[in-house]
Amino acid sequence: MAPAAILALDQGTTSSRAVVFEFDDGRLGRSLGDARREFACTYPRPGWVEQDPMEVWRSQHEAAEAALAASGVAPTSIVGLGLTNQRETVVLWDRATGVPVAPAIVWQDRRTSGRTDRLRRDGREAWLIERTGLPCDPYFSASKIQWLLEHVPDAADRAARGELAVGTIDAWLLWNLTEGRTHATDVSNASRTQLWNLHTRSWDESLCELFGVPMGLLPEVVPSAGEAGRCRLFGGDVPILGVIGDQQSALAGQGCSVPGESKTTYGTGCFLLVQTGERVVPSGSRLLTTAAWQVGEQAMRYALEGSVFMGGALIQWLRDGLGIIEKSSEVGPLAATVEDSAGVVMVPAFTGLGAPHWDAEARGSVFGLTRGATRAHVARAALEGIAAQVADVLEAATVDLRDAELPAISRVRVDGGAAACDELMQLQADLLGLPVERPADLETTVRGAAAMVCLALGGAELADEATVERRFDPQRDDAWRSSMRDRWRDAVATTRSWAERSLEGESHGSTAGA
C-alpha cells in the first residue's frame, strides 16, 4: 500500500513554497519533498507595495507540482492539502473569468494611511478595536478593499451587482485550487481584515458600512481545520483540510497549544504571537487581539500579536539597496567583526512602525553616523534594530499577559529565515534577558498548515513542540540592556517627531501652492 502524505502550501510575501509531509498513524512525519518559487513585488509609488495575483498563483502551483515530483508520492496518496499564506494582502477579481481586476495590494502597503488617520481623528479607533482587536492602520485589509473599490474603474458598481469577488491570499488560492468552486477564507485570515467581528465571529455589517464594502463581495468564513473545498489540479481529488494565516500557522507549527506559549517569526517582518486559549484578551499595550485557529466546530483559539513590518526585509535592503553585502547570510559575520555599532542606531520604519507604536507615517532613520562608521557598524545597527523592535512587542505582551493573569513568557521560540543568523539571535537574547530557542527546522509555518490537516483528520492535538537546535542564553547584564533600550526609545521618538514635522511641511507647501 502506498504511504499516505499531506501536501502543505506556504504562500509568502516574496516566494511560494510547497512541502509533502509523510502522514503515518495520524501523525505528521518527515518531509518527503519540497520546492520553492520566488516572485516579485513592485513599488509603483513611495509607500505602495503590489503583486501580480496571477504570478502569485503560478508560483504556488509550480511549487506544488515540483514538490510532488520531488517526493515521488502519487497524487492519489495525498490525504489532504493544507494552505498557509501572507495575511492582509488583498486581491479583487472577476467571478465569471477568475481574472484579477487590479494588482494585489500587499500587507506592507501604506497608501491608505490618510483614511485610517482620519478614522482615528474621528474617534473611531476604540470602536474598531473593541469589535476587531485591530487599531486604525493601513496594514489591515478593509481600507485596501475600500481603495480598490474607489479607484478601479467600475469596481464599486460591479461589486454591488455581485460580479466581483474579494479576498486575502488564502481566498484567492482557494478559488484557483478549486477552479472557481470555492470562495472562502478561514477565521484567522478573516480576523485580519478589520471587517470580521471577534465576538460574533462573523462579518460585521457596521464595519462593512464604515469601509464601503458590500457584504456580498466577501468570502464565506470557514474553520482553519476542516474541509474547505477539493483540489483536482494535481492528478487526484484532494480535500483541502487546512487554511490558516502564516503567523498563526507558525504558532501551531511550534506546538504552542497552551495559553501563554509564544513564538516569534523572523520573516519579511517579525511577528510575536502568544496563545490565549479560548479567551479574547484585549490589549492595553497596543498589541493586536486576533483569532489563532478553529478546528471544526470546536471553540475558537485566540492570540495576542505584536507585528513588526521590517525584519528580514531589512537584511535584504542591506544587500539589494545599499549593496554592503552580497548574500543575506553575510550580515551576521560582518556585524560580528565589530564589538558594537559605534553609536549607530537604525530604526527600520521603511513602511511605518507597527506594534506597539502604530505610526504609518514614520520612515526609516539612521542616527549616530561618524567618519569612523563602517559597513560593519551599519550591519550591526540593522540587527540591533530588528531585535529592538521585537523587544518592544515582547515588553507590551508581558504587560497584557500580566493583566490577563496568564503565564509570563519565560523563553522565546523563534523561526523564519532571519532566525538562522546567530548574531541576531544572540542580540535578541541579550536585549530580552530571556533564552532564545531555535528549532532544527526553521520553516515551522508550513508545518503548521500540515498540522491543521492532521487535526481535521482527527488528530487530538497539535504537532509536538519543535526540536531545539540551539539555545541562546543572555550574555549581557541589566545595565547594558537598559542603556540599549533607552537609546532605542530616543531614536524611535526622534524618527516619529521628524515624520510629523515632514508631514506638516508637506501640508503647508501644498496649501501655499494652492
State the CB neighbour count (10 A cutoff) for residue 253. 32
Residue type, 335: A
Residue 359 lies in a domain: no
Per-residue cell: 104: 494585489
Please tell me the predicted confidence (pLDDT) of residue 510.
Answer: 41
CA–CA gap between residue 289 and residue 286 (Å, rounded): 9
| Cell 494565516, located at residue | 245
Q: Coil, helix or strand for 412? A: strand
Per-residue cell: 298: 470546536
Phi, psi of 195 (to 5 degrees): -120, -5
| Domains: count for the chain | 1
End-to-end CA distance of the chain: 76
Residue among 24, 36, 104, 2 at smallest CA distance from 446: 36
Is 86:59 a contact under the CB 8 Å cutoff?
no
Please tell me the predicted confidence (pLDDT) of residue 194.
Answer: 96
Is 237:363 a contact under the CB 8 Å cutoff?
no
- The range of the structural domain enclosing residue 126 comes to 5-255
State the CB neighbour count (10 A cutoff) for residue 307. 26
Please tell me the predicted confidence (pLDDT) of residue 27.
Answer: 80
Angle at alpha carbon of residue 509, lines to 503 and 510, rounded to 5°:
90
The CATH number given to whatever domain includes residue 197 is 3.30.420.40
CA–CA gap between residue 150 and residue 105 (Å, rounded): 14
| Cell 531555535, located at residue | 438
Residues 6+ apart with CB under 8 A from 14: 38, 39, 41, 268
- Residue-by-residue DSSP string for 102-154: SPEEPTT--TTHHHHHHHHHTT-HHHHHHHHS--S-TTSHHHHHHHHHHHSTT
The torsion of the CA quartet 150, 151, 152, 156, rounded to 10 degrees, works out to: 10
Residue type, 399: V
| Cell 542580540, located at residue | 427
Residue among 195, 180, 9, 196 at smallest CA distance from 96: 180
Burial class (CB in 10 A: 0-12, 13-18, 19+), 127: middle
Residue among 100, 83, 121, 119 at smallest CA distance from 7: 83
pTM for the model: 0.86
Residue 127 lies in a domain: yes
Residue 347 lies in a domain: no
Q: Coil, helix or strand for 365? A: strand
* pLDDT per residue rounded down to tens, the chain (514 residues): 567 899 999 999 989 999 999 988 778 888 899 999 999 999 999 889 999 999 999 999 999 999 999 999 998 999 999 999 999 999 999 999 999 999 999 998 999 999 999 999 999 999 999 999 999 999 999 999 999 999 999 999 999 999 999 999 999 999 999 999 999 999 999 999 999 999 999 999 999 999 999 999 999 999 999 999 999 988 889 999 999 999 999 999 888 888 888 899 998 889 999 999 999 999 999 999 999 999 999 999 999 999 898 888 899 999 999 898 999 999 999 999 999 999 999 999 888 888 898 887 888 899 999 999 999 999 999 999 999 999 999 999 999 999 989 888 888 899 888 999 999 999 999 999 999 999 887 778 899 999 999 999 987 556 555 678 899 999 999 999 999 999 999 999 998 877 666 555 554 444 333 2
- Residue-by-residue DSSP string for 11-46: E-SSEEEEEEEEEETTEEEEEEEEEEEE---B-SST
Beta strands 220-222 and 15-24: pairing type? Answer: unpaired
Residue 365 lies in a domain: no
| H helix and E strand count, the chain | 15, 23
Q: Which helix (H) or strand (E) holds 381?
A: helix 375-403
- Which residues are registered as beta bridge partners of 366? 346
Q: Coil, helix or strand for 196? A: strand
Residue among 39, 44, 69, 35 at smallest CA distance from 54: 39
CA–CA gap between residue 182 and residue 172 (Å, rounded): 9
Q: Please state at what angle helix 478-513 crosses helix 422-432, rounded to 10 degrees.
A: 100
Is 8:21 a contact under the CB 8 Å cutoff?
yes
Residue 10 lies in a domain: yes
Q: Which helix (H) or strand (E) holds 458?
A: none
| Cell 498563526, located at residue | 248
Burial class (CB in 10 A: 0-12, 13-18, 19+), 126: exposed
CA–CA gap between residue 219 and residue 196 (Å, rounded): 11
Q: How many residues appear in the chain? A: 514
Residue 312 lies in a domain: no
CA–CA gap between residue 20 and residue 69 (Å, rounded): 10
Residue 31 lies in a domain: yes
Query: How many angstroms separate the Cα of 7 from the Cα of each of 176, 223, 247, 330?
Result: 16, 18, 19, 33
What is Dmax (Cα atoms) for the chain? 78
Distance of CA 67 to the CA centre of its chain: 24
**Cα Rg of the chain, angstroms:** 22
Is 315:384 a contact under the CB 8 Å cutoff?
no
- Which residues are registered as beta bridge partners of 365? 347
Per-residue cell: 351: 513602511
Residue 473 lies in a domain: no
